[in-house]
Structure 1
């Protein structure tokens, strides 16, 4: 291995301290992190909402601005990957495990406990689907697009190392080469570890839940630990093959399996109801987007927004360094307009269709057939919701096995991509980080997921994301300013960008 960078050394030490803390005093860690989470949610919920909305407004502005013609690379560069592969890679890295985990569970939660009004009503059903669209729609992909666009622009257009600190050079100048830059990059690494560990924990619990639903295997921490161990070996093998083979092929496989599962339920389930839900909810989502974007509950004193929307915005922000770095790496040659349109619209529409199919089917079973899914989730865990729904349709067992396999491939792709990104961020932006560095980060992120599950299950996973996202939110707001300055300078030099 080449000489280790200060960012690598500091980040590894901090990560190991966290892992040891969780192993030695899991209760103490859970109590401390929970207290920090509660403080951030109570005092800075408004900050997360305003920040996420700022990123969306900025992204939309770029589509229609004169900056849209700027190419992420030289003016003659063409995209490295075709559009289908590009979408598959960014989608698999962006939210694959989360969609499978929450596709059924979240709408059912909202149906029974809506953000306003009584549960188990027609209005709560509408709100359930609309907020599911909201939490997985334009806002998270705007968060991803901001950091990805900034990294891609400075790397491929300006030739800067693909590390987050370099994006802030228009603001801080050469200070990004010193302790300030190292601090920024360490925050990026820590946020990435927690964000990815959260999703890996969700993936492990759902695989465990699926296996327990189909077999006599118990859904407990031991099973989840074994699953994480097996998947760790698989994604470490994939990570050694590099971007061109492992991640690329797995991403395409993920999309194929996800489409197969989705179209099966679309046609096996209440097809007309699903498409009606998709159409009406998409319109309602667009119509209510401004009010939902800044909605808090100061008069009602409800904790719903903190528990759901603010958690999601923090989770996406914690994921942003990882997903943004990865999207930037595979987006060379695209224009700013093409990039933002692709990153914002295609995954948002796909996510809306996904929730219409899985969430719409679940709500239909709950409303019209008294299925009792909420009770199943209460008794057996949130992670079995998908399998309970699939069991109601022909070939349910086969589709459940397919779903477990899909979660596993998403798990491997996300973890593989994360080791790649962490390797880049801790080797001064190397586009091909050493396997030894990727191996180190692979072990650390899996160990972090295990520690979080051990100390507090799904609640600990959510807590870690909210805490890790807070400092990085500030960095992302600075990135908006920095990117705007860089674009203005470029357009001033070259008024007619082709």
Structure 2
């Protein structure tokens, strides 16, 4: 028996433990491989080979891939919708309980730790990493879609209504339909996704900064698995995290490429087919490599701040050029409606709205879960020095409010154009094009559309850059300072996966892989939630 620091003991207590913890950790952290690589050989090699095999099979069997991916997505969301809703609800409740409990006074990094970034820089990185491309892609299309669904009273082929039963049913009142549509949209972009991110981010920050464990997903499971986290149980957790992150990112990158191609087609008549999207993925991935080489502070932070500035300017323009008074009052009304309907929307029992639950909510929750290793680790890396309460309030509340404002301004403007001005172009456009057709009805359409394309591209670059950073950290056993060539490798791999999925089935393939990796990782997160509480109970509080 060797006397070592037990990372689960408070106040740096030294206790005898059965296994030399430091040796176990050292055996995990690095393998100095060929070509100067600094990797954990099992996680790196197995993850890379699995992804490579997937890419090859997808490209070889392109004709069979599209129907397979479509069937896979539909099967997972229809059979496991109750599970995804229940897991997401559990994470929201856990975050609320931690905020309200004395455990919220625990400081990430220890009682004397100071924040590494200002509030402005910190919040910019949180928001840009969390869902930037998604807000651009769905900011107009989702509110408009749900508004039309609520107003029309949709039916299936058998004639039975499949939407809006948990709210107020279909309505012929456009005002009520708009409120229902905005409420359903906000439900997918507010508390639940950010709670999913916050749980894993909190665990990573706690066990890395307070317990001295490597910054990798397996570290969160130390209270449950003990020294086995350095063996195959830990290897499997990290491999699954790499796959979930890679496919979750590929989904977002595919959405970004589709929207950027639609914008170029709208402005310049460029073909918006798969060839253009693939070229965009390649070009923007190449640009992201420059940010990768620049590093976290010079690359991701600056790009995130540029993102927030551009997004704020575009938001302000639409607010002023659109129905300003309607939008300003709509922000408060939509937030109130969201909080009012939240218990009904989050309740998985007795639901009659199968299309909404399976086609929208279950997919979204699986997508956020598959993104959680990426966003969670990125948030953890930039959150040292924050208390648990400060951390959770910032991660849950502030981005949720920003999402409410964004969806209200963009979606509310599109709905107002349809109802008040009989402008149907946005409603009739393909989903990736709807942002640009909405902007076309406002002044300076060419300028704002170009800004929107640039914004999508910068969100794309930020996601690719920070995603490669996160994946490389996991594949290096939690090491933060690793050779740049490894981040370049994973950045390129993200682009390759996105291209393969676009060729092998388009957006349906991207969505299917996000859901299929989100399902097993949801189980991982449930166990992680238990470990987080156990870890916090052993921490000194302010």
More displaced, 49-58 or 123-132? Answer: 123-132
Which residue of 203, 208, 212 corresponds with 2:256?
Answer: 203
1:89 and 2:141 correspond: no
- SS for the counterpart of 1:175 is helix
- Deviation, structure 1 residue 391: 0.9
Which residue of 167, 171, 175 corresponds with 2:220?
Answer: 167
- SS for the counterpart of 2:340 is helix
Which residue of 515, 522, 526 corresponds with 1:466?
Answer: 515
Which residue of 391, 398, 404 corresponds with 2:440?
Answer: 391
1:100 and 2:152 correspond: no
- SS for the counterpart of 1:76 is coil
Q: 8 Å contact 1:112–1:120 — kept in the other structure?
A: no
Alignment correspondent of 2:37 = 2
Distance 2:198 2:124 in 1: 16
Which residue of 463, 471, 483 corresponds with 1:422?
Answer: 471
Q: 8 Å contact 1:296–1:305 — kept in the other structure?
A: no
Cα distance, 1:145–1:375 mapped onto 2, change above 3 Å: closer
Distance 1:54 1:182 in 2: 26
Deviations 1:389-429 (A, max 9, x none): 11111111101001111111111001100000001000011
- SS for the counterpart of 1:168 is helix
1:212 and 2:265 correspond: yes
Alignment correspondent of 1:487 = 536
Deviations 1:178-234 (A, max 9, x none): 111000000000000110000000000100000001112111111111111110110
1:59-458 equivalence runs, <5 A: 59-114=95-150, 115-116=163-164, 117-118=169-170, 121-122=173-174, 123-295=176-348, 298=351, 300=352, 302-373=354-425, 375-377=427-429, 381-458=430-507
RMSD: 1.4
Alignment correspondent of 1:50 = 86
Distance 1:471 1:310 in 2: 14
Bigger Cα Rg: 2
- Deviation, structure 1 residue 3: 5.0
Distance 2:454 2:124 in 1: 17
TM-score by length of 1: 0.96
Q: 8 Å contact 1:113–1:119 — kept in the other structure?
A: no
Distance 2:348 2:423 in 1: 32
- Deviation, structure 1 residue 303: 2.1
- Deviation, structure 1 residue 120: 6.8
- Deviation, structure 1 residue 42: 2.0
More displaced, 367-376 or 440-449? Answer: 367-376
- List runs of 5+ in structure 1 lacking aligned partners: none
Distance 1:457 1:160 in 2: 40
Distance 1:209 1:485 in 2: 48
- Deviation, structure 1 residue 85: 0.2
- SS for the counterpart of 2:505 is helix
Distance 2:512 2:149 in 1: 21
- List runs of 5+ in structure 2 lacking aligned partners: 1-35, 151-162
- SS for the counterpart of 2:103 is helix
Greater helix percent: which structure? 1
1:16 and 2:52 correspond: yes
TM-score by length of 2: 0.88
Cα distance, 1:27–1:433 mapped onto 2, change above 3 Å: farther
- Deviation, structure 1 residue 432: 2.2
Q: 8 Å contact 2:108–2:386 — kept in the other structure?
A: yes
Q: 8 Å contact 2:67–2:505 — kept in the other structure?
A: no
Distance 1:12 1:36 in 2: 23
Q: 8 Å contact 1:45–1:306 — kept in the other structure?
A: yes
More displaced, 454-463 or 265-274? Answer: 454-463
1:36 and 2:88 correspond: no
- Deviation, structure 1 residue 296: 5.8
Cα distance, 1:130–1:301 mapped onto 2, change above 3 Å: closer
The total of aligned residue pairs comes to 489
More displaced, 199-208 or 39-48? Answer: 39-48
Distance 2:333 2:213 in 1: 45
